[in-house]
Amino acid sequence: MKLKTIALLLAGLVLYAGLTSITLMFYKDDPDQMNWQDREAFNTKYIYKLDLTKAISRNQVINFLGGPDITEAKKHQQQVFQVLYYRTHRTKTDGITTKDECTAILFKNQQLIAIGETAVEQFNQLD
């Protein structure tokens, strides 16, 4: 009797671990379905994992994070620069997202070139 109970318990634990692993491996987070605290944490984690030495396109970022909270673009010397702002920290609980609550991601011709304050500085220096 004890052996049967232990076997059923172990089978249940294995099934639970298997289903949990499958869910975690194949479930894609959907930023649009997250509350604001989870989305800020999700954005922060993803943005600061971006590697400037790798070719990362604007579409890759948008596909993963969803649409930006704020965006700006400029054309400079036949090059298109676009800065996407994603909220990563709240400063006021007024329901309005401002640039100071966001982390900037700068793209040149759709390719990632800068993150954070460096992105803002480079974008603002353009004519």
- Whether 116 and 103 have beta carbons less than 8 Å apart is answered as yes
Helix 58-65 × helix 36-47 angle, to 10°: 150
Which residue blocks in 31-114 are alpha helix, DSSP H?
Answer: 36-47, 58-65
Task: Report d(CA 101, CA 13) in Å as an integer.
Answer: 43
Q: What is the per-residue pLDDT across 43-81, written as a single tens digit (0 to 9) for each?
A: 999 999 999 999 999 999 999 899 999 999 999 999 999
Q: Which two tokens stand for residue 66?
A: 């969803």
- Residue 36's pLDDT is 77
Higher pLDDT, 58 or 31: 58
Torsion sign (Cα): 84, 90, 95, 96: negative
Calculate mean pLDDT across residues 15-22: 80
Query: What Rg value do the Cα atoms of the chain yield, rounded?
Result: 21
Is residue 38 pLDDT above 60, yes or no? yes
Determine the residue type at 50: L
- Using DSSP, state whether 74 is helix, strand or coil: strand
What does pLDDT average to over the chain? 87
Phi, psi of 47 (to 5 degrees): -60, -45
* CA–CA gap between residue 23 and residue 40 (Å, rounded): 22
CA distance 47 to 35: 18
In angstroms, rounded to a whole number, what is the distance separating the alpha carbons of residues 42 and 113? 21
